[in-house]
Amino acid sequence: MYSPISFFIVYTSIYFVLVPLYLYLTRSNDTYLMVVVIGFLSNLMLLIGYFTKLFFRFRIMPHVILNPRVFVDLSFTFFLMFAMYSFYTFGGVPLINIFLGDADPNLLRGQLFKGRQGIEIVLLYLSAIFSYVFIPLSVLLAFHYKMKMRYLFLAFALFFSIGTLQKALLLNILFPLFAYLLLKRKVGVKFFLIMFVILFSYFIFMIQSTGHAGSAIDSGGDFFSSTYVPSSALDYFFWRFFAVPIYTSVDTIYVFQNWMGGNHLLGSSSSLLSSLLGQERVDVEKIVFEYQFGGYNPLANANTYFAIGIFLDFSWVGLVVTSFFIGIFFQSMAQSKDLSIYSIGYLFAWQAANGSVIGIMLSSGFIYIVIHLFFLRYKFEGRYVT
């Protein structure tokens, strides 16, 4: 099957090497060339790391055996408590509030977690940890072991994703699950075509509901820039999916070179690392958003490809080393006999292509996958995950 690393290499080569190279040749903007070099070097080192089996000739220590039913039950119990508390203290479910006409959809989506103050800011991090790792993994385990509550678990996870108006969270649940079902050959092409139509219709509906559809008769502005004005929900979807990742990577390099003086941040873009190192936090994603749209928004971010973020923090050396070890991480997931962990690799590939690897590992909880690969193993009713 099309492996996680294959998906990652193809995706990033198109978005951060080939298209920026074409734009550089047609626009003569050196910032595009910088993105090309970063993307090419990162993918090269990632492949070298993937085919270097340094860490697979020995075991660090015996595996600790976990019961997947206990893991799934605990994950969903805490997730249910987290979701109920979040909705209660927020005053409702954002999607339902939209239909009641209570507030602007974009404010509802942002304020649910990003707008929290004080100790409740921890809800933002819990949301990421649940949505990016523990709930997708729990759904996979529930289906793999045919647990009785698996469809109820899936339904609640989807309700949370849809109800919070965060469209990307839906993919966190379904992307690895679809990969798993395809690996197990439980579904065919017809199923995926039907699901594609359903998901596409959902995204178009959400674009309309959140006011992003646009009202212009004709599209306007440069397609590969934040000045573009979509004329419809469909136009917005294609611009958001194809153009935004590319021009955001370019804008991030521009801001780094012209607003930050080209001074590498040495980890200060991460709230955790900046706290540990005693540095002032530099919120690059919000600064780039401010550059793109002309104003600061505490609820908005401009996320970009992991290699761009690593370069900003740790220069070329950091880019080479980090990409190499991410390649090893992909290899470790590929060699795992745990199909749920392998399927999560597709989600990691997607997240790394669209966000900071420091945030993915620490804030979103993917560090658990690293720990699991070296120390843990699931066993259920006398059999291991296979």
- CB count, 10 Å around CB of 75? 20
What is the model's pLDDT at position 10?
97
* Residue 275 reports pLDDT greater than 90: no
Which amino acid is present at 303?
A: N
Model pTM score: 0.89
In sequence order, the β-bridge partners of residue 307 are none
What are the tens digits of pLDDT across the range 116-125?
888 888 888 8
What are the tens digits of pLDDT across the range 350-362?
999 999 998 899 8
What are the tens digits of pLDDT across the range 188-237?
778 878 888 888 888 887 777 666 655 555 556 789 998 898 888 888 88
CA separation, residue 226 to residues 11, 61, 230, 236, 319 (Å): 21, 50, 11, 12, 27
What is the model's pLDDT at position 256?
95
Cα Rg, the chain, nearest whole Å: 21
| Stretch 327-347: mean pLDDT | 88
Helices in the chain by DSSP H: which ranges?
A: 4-13, 19-27, 30-50, 68-90, 94-99, 105-111, 122-129, 135-144, 150-163, 167-183, 189-209, 233-238, 244-258, 271-277, 284-293, 306-335, 339-352, 357-358, 367-375
Residue 269, both tokens = 């873009």
* Residue 328 reports pLDDT greater than 60: yes
3-class DSSP state for residue 256?
A: helix
Half-sphere exposure of 90 (CA within 13 A, CB side): 29
What is the model's pLDDT at position 103?
63
Provide long-range contacts, Cβ within 8 A and 24+ apart, for 256-263.
256/284, 256/312, 257/31, 259/287, 259/291
Distance, CA of 233 to CA of 204 (rounded, Å): 6
Provide long-range contacts, Cβ within 8 A and 24+ apart, for 232-238.
233/204, 233/207, 233/208, 234/204, 236/207, 236/212, 237/203, 237/204, 237/207
Least confident range of 53-67, 98-112, 283-297, 314-328: 53-67
What is the model's pLDDT at position 195?
82
Edge-to-edge strand list for the sheet holding 64-66: 64-66, 376-380, 383-384
Q: Angle CA(43)–CA(45)–CA(50) in degrees, nearest 5?
A: 90
Distance, CA of 164 to CA of 199 (rounded, Å): 16
Distance, CA of 71 to CA of 378 (rounded, Å): 9
